[in-house]
Amino acid sequence: MNLKSEKYTQLIKAEAKRLGFFACGISKARFLEEEVGHLETWLKNHFNGEMSYMENHFDKRLNPQLLVPDAKSVISLLFNYYPKELQKHKDAPIISKYAYGEDYHFVLKDKMRELMYFIKTEIGEVEGRVFTDSAPVSDKKWAELSGIAWRGKHSNMLTKQGSFFFIGELIVDLALDYDTPMNSYCGTCTRCIDACPTQAITEPYVVDARKCISYLTIEFKDNLPEDLKDNFQNRVFGCDICQDVCPYNSKPLFHNEERFLPHPDFLEMSKDEWADITEDVFRKLFKKSAVKRTKFTGLKRNLDFIK
């Protein structure tokens, strides 16, 4: 065992915990040969819908050394986001829990940049980059290889503390101690598959985005498919159904991140207030939220669709 790499690994994991990440695991940076066939098949079946960016930078998505020259380690991080308070009115249009507060891309990147600064300050000349769901990186696979989560049958990553977390990673040219992949604990359970109202989970671990409520309410820009109108279950931005029914989410791990707290008026909005929402109210409620991705026109489209 290399004493330096062991020391550096312990330092990094301790700092990640201090910054609020509830899990940190490390895997060896390498070409993900085993992912090639899965990604090719998924794209060939057009399960990415209009997310054409999934077809770009195919090689970079599988090889971290194309993103960071001489990359040696992928530091995977999990940050939970389950809110202590949910929307008050049961009949109000539903926003996915991940979008209640400030856009996670900004929050996580700020924290990961702090971790990168810590590594350079405490260890020395280390080159690396931070990523969270906004670059061609196989976040889920790296989280699996780092031993901090396993892939659920809904294709989201899972831990025994649930699945309501964001994934981020640092790819660095520093050799560290590597963790072993986590076992899957889904067993024979199929609750997520059975609960999906649009049958978007075509088989365990495979999601057809073209049927996924989350994709349709956020990424899809055309008219929503009328044949799925009765299946949206009041969702207007994202969808948590497959996660809500998971036994591992029965006792969710609440976040303590102030930047994830929603505008207080948002939680109180009634069905009628949602129906009458104006662009000014939209901007006030979701000033820094990921909901801005769909724009006011997109949210209005979604609201009109579920009437």
Q: What positions carry a catalytic annotation? A: 133
CA distance 281 to 273: 10
Look at the chain and count its residues.
Answer: 307
CA distance 6 to 178: 9
CA distance 34 to 104: 29
Residue 177: Cβ-neighbour burial (10 angstroms; 0-12, 13-18, 19+):
middle
Helix (H) or strand (E) holding 195: helix 191-195
CA distance 206 to 150: 14
DSSP state of 294: G
> Contact, 296 vs 282, CB < 8 A?
yes
